[in-house]
């Protein structure tokens, strides 16, 4: 299959030319029983309008435009409108505090700030400290006095933006990492990075114009958007689902004839629990066309996929691995033909190369744990305004991920853990993922996280935080006895019960757990 290298703004224009009346996006709001649609032609026209709006405000190539919105059709219209000006899109995590927004803005120095009306209070708290912002634009029905109305601007905007020469080497977006291991870093991605993500995702998951992609995770993050890019490149329809309950997901797949869904581990677990309890019945939904479920953003317990396949034996499954620094997912993926290897993150993705190295950067022996490093066209340009962090992460053309992995005899890569999350107990390294995967098999356990707990004699011991399936019971003693099947040094010594904090992309927030249960804010065995 051949691909013409064009930037994502031109992909949208091409879809509008080829499939003008086909539905590009559906927005479902189950809580309000609302549904909206937009064709490729209308999507393209509105993106052009917003580009012209920004240009009339003085936005030019290389400027930064900040975006703080919940998932919606307008989110993508705004995004592509910014892209077409040649400015950098700076999408923000909608869970960011006012302080987080100020820190990101201090780095990005945006000239325009677009926000949803639901974030009015946060913007009012910060607007006087956002010195570089010349104009605020509010989407929604209620616009504060200090901002311009997105809807009003769009009513009167010209449908054609001024021509901007955009090359694949030009910067496209400034993304802030999810921050699970510390302060979010600003990642500068190019138009070439974005086009690469489109091609890789499409090759891995065989998307066609006939596929219907159910899009659930937040668009500000590279994961959801880059998976959708596999549909964008071929003009396939996508459904933006604003609701993640098991009922919402199955209703969307059934009613919209969805064929591909990307889920996070907790969402898949929630669906399975409802099916197990009988609260959900597959016979109530039309799911025969649902051909692929894939998961990424976190290690996937093999027991989860075994359980999933018991309900959906004919459905294809894939695991995808990536990070914001690699323009999101698919630098490594399992492949839908390799379900016999569930538990691995897979092998190098299309046009990607991997190595596993020790602290000195030398390749480790086969089967030994080491740090995963990557090389490919999705590698970020830099950590913006952070040359020290860039030099530490990008070395000799390789991206150092900070993830510890092993490779088996067939070349499949297995996550061991984050370097900062390794527990060192009595001189032995314990990889939390191994403990977590084992405890996931306990019939009462819904979610689990392993952390290091300070110990005077051993330095630290293994502690686990366990979330139980509603209606199930288990005691600390029962969990500890269950874990006696593990090697002695890997066995948890403490068990806490509670919810597992995860960020919007599903990753366990280990710093929060350590602070909550040990009072320590960092992985204390790491010496910088």
**Domains in the chain, ordered, with CATH?**
8-197 (3.40.50.12780), 422-518 (3.30.300.30)
Residue 423 confidence (pLDDT) = 84
- Residue 96, pLDDT > 60, answer yes
Q: Cα–Cα–Cα angle for 157, 172, 393, nearest 5°?
A: 160
Distance of CA 480 to the CA centre of its chain: 33
- Residue 157, pLDDT > 90, answer no
Residue 404 confidence (pLDDT) = 86
C-alpha–C-alpha distance, residues 480 and 511, integer Å: 24
The CA-atom distances, in angstroms, between 173 and each of 64, 221, 495 are 9, 11, 42
Q: How many CB atoms lie within 10 A of CB 300?
A: 28
Determine if residue 315 is left, alpha or beta; phi over 0 gives left, psi from -120 to 50 gives alpha, anything else beta: beta
Residue 1 confidence (pLDDT) = 45
Residue 402 makes CB contacts below 8 A (sequence gap 6+) with 181, 371, 418, 419, 420
Residue 457 confidence (pLDDT) = 65
Long-range contacts of 8-12 (CB under 8 A, 24+ apart): 8/80, 8/83, 8/172, 8/191, 8/194, 8/195, 8/198, 8/229, 8/232, 9/47, 9/80, 9/83, 9/84, 9/166, 11/195, 11/198, 11/232, 11/233, 12/40, 12/43, 12/44, 12/47, 12/80, 12/232
- Residue 38, pLDDT > 60, answer yes
Q: How many CB atoms lie within 10 A of CB 478?
A: 13
Mean pLDDT score of the chain, rounded to an integer?
90
Of residues 158 and 528, more confidence is placed in 158
Residue 525 confidence (pLDDT) = 35
Token pair for 441? 């098999």
Confidence band, pLDDT 50/70/90 cuts, at residue 455 = confident
Of residues 65 and 434, more confidence is placed in 65
Q: How many CB atoms lie within 10 A of CB 140?
A: 17
Residues 469-490: pLDDT tens digits?
988 999 999 999 999 988 787 8
Dihedral sign for Cα 220, 222, 224, 228, please: positive
For residues 111-127, give the mean pLDDT.
Answer: 96
Residue 29 confidence (pLDDT) = 96
Residues 239-256: pLDDT tens digits?
999 988 999 999 999 999
Q: What are phi and psi of 28, to 5 degrees?
A: -110, 130
Of residues 519 and 196, more confidence is placed in 196
Q: Cα–Cα–Cα angle for 398, 323, 303, nearest 5°?
A: 120
Residue 523 confidence (pLDDT) = 41
Confidence band, pLDDT 50/70/90 cuts, at residue 526 = very low
Of residues 123 and 223, more confidence is placed in 123
For residues 147-167, give the mean pLDDT.
Answer: 92
Residue 516 confidence (pLDDT) = 85
For residues 257-271, give the mean pLDDT.
Answer: 91
Helix (H) or strand (E) holding 393: helix 387-393
* Radius of gyration of the chain, Cα coordinates, nearest whole angstrom: 23
For residues 364-371, give the mean pLDDT.
Answer: 92
Residue 271 confidence (pLDDT) = 95
Residue 442 confidence (pLDDT) = 93
Residue 504 confidence (pLDDT) = 64
Q: What share of the chain is helix, strand, coil (3-state, %, to 5)?
A: 35, 30, 35
Torsion of CA 220, 224, 225, 229, to 10 degrees: 180
Confidence band, pLDDT 50/70/90 cuts, at residue 521 = very low
Residues 404-434: pLDDT tens digits?
899 999 999 998 766 677 787 866 678 788 8
Query: Quick check: pTM over 0.85?
Result: no
Helix or strand or coil: residue 378?
coil
Residue 522 confidence (pLDDT) = 45
Q: Which of 47-61, 289-303, 345-359, 369-383 has the lowest mean pLDDT?
A: 289-303
Confidence band, pLDDT 50/70/90 cuts, at residue 302 = confident
């Amino acid at each position: 299959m051949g691909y013409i290298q064009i930037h994502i703004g031109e992909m949208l224009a091409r879809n509008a030319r080829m499939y003008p009346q086909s539905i590009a996006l559906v927005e479902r709001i189950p809580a309000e029983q609302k549904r909206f649609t937009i064709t490729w032609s209308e999507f393209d026209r509105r993106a052009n309008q917003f580009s012209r709006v920004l240009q009339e405000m003085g936005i030019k190539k290389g400027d930064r435009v900040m975006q703080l919105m919940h998932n919606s059709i307008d989110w993508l219209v705004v995004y592509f409108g910014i892209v077409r000006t040649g400015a950098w899109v700076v999408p923000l995590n909608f869970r960011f505090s006012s302080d987080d927004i100020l820190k990101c803005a201090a780095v990005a120095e945006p000239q325009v700030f677009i926000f949803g009306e639901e974030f009015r209070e946060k913007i009012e708290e910060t607007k006087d400290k956002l010195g570089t912002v010349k104009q605020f634009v509010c989407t929604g029905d209620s616009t504060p006095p200090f901002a311009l109305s997105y809807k009003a601007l769009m009513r009167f905007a010209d449908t054609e933006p001024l021509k901007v020469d955009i090359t694949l080497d030009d910067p496209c977006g400034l993304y802030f990492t999810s921050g699970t291991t510390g302060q979010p870093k600003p990642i500068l991605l190019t138009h070439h990075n974005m086009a690469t993500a489109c091609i890789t995702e499409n090759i891995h998951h065989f998307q066609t114009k006939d596929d219907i992609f159910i899009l659930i995770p937040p668009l500000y993050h590279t994961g959801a958007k880059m998976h959708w890019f596999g549909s964008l490149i071929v003009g396939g329809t996508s459904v933006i689902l604003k609701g993640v309950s098991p009922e919402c997901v199955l209703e969307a797949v059934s009613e919209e004839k969805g064929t591909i869904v990307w889920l996070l581990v907790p969402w898949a677990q929630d669906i399975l629990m409802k099916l197990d309890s009988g609260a959900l019945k597959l016979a109530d939904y039309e799911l025969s066309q649902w051909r692929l479920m894939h998961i990424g953003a976190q290690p996937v317990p093999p027991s989860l996929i075994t359980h999933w396949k018991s309900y959906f034996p004919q459905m294809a499954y894939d695991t995808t691995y990536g990070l914001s620094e690699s323009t999101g997912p698919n630098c490594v993926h399992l492949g839908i033909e390799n379900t016999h290897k569930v538990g691995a993150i897979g092998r190098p993705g299309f046009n990607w190369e991997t190595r596993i190295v020790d602290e000195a950067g030398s390749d480790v022996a086969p089967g030994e744990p080491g740090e995963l490093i990557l090389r490919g066209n999705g590698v970020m340009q830099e950590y913006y305004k952070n040359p020290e962090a860039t030099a530490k992460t990008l070395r000799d053309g390789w991206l150092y991920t900070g993830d510890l992995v092993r490779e088996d005899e067939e070349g499949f890569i297995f996550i061991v853990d984050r370097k900062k999350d390794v527990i060192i107990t009595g001189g032995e390294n314990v990889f939390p993922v191994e403990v977590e995967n084992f405890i996931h098999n306990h019939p009462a356990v819904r979610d689990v996280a392993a952390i290091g707990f300070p110990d005077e004699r051993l330095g630290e011991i293994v502690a686990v935080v366990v979330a139980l399936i509603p209606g199930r019971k288990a005691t600390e003693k029962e969990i500890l006895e269950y874990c006696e099947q593990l090697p002695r040094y890997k066995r948890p010594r403490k068990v806490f019960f509670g919810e597992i904090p995860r960020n919007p992309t599903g990753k366990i927030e280990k710093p929060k757990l350590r602070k909550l249960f040990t009072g320590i804010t960092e992985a204390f065995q790491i010496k910088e």
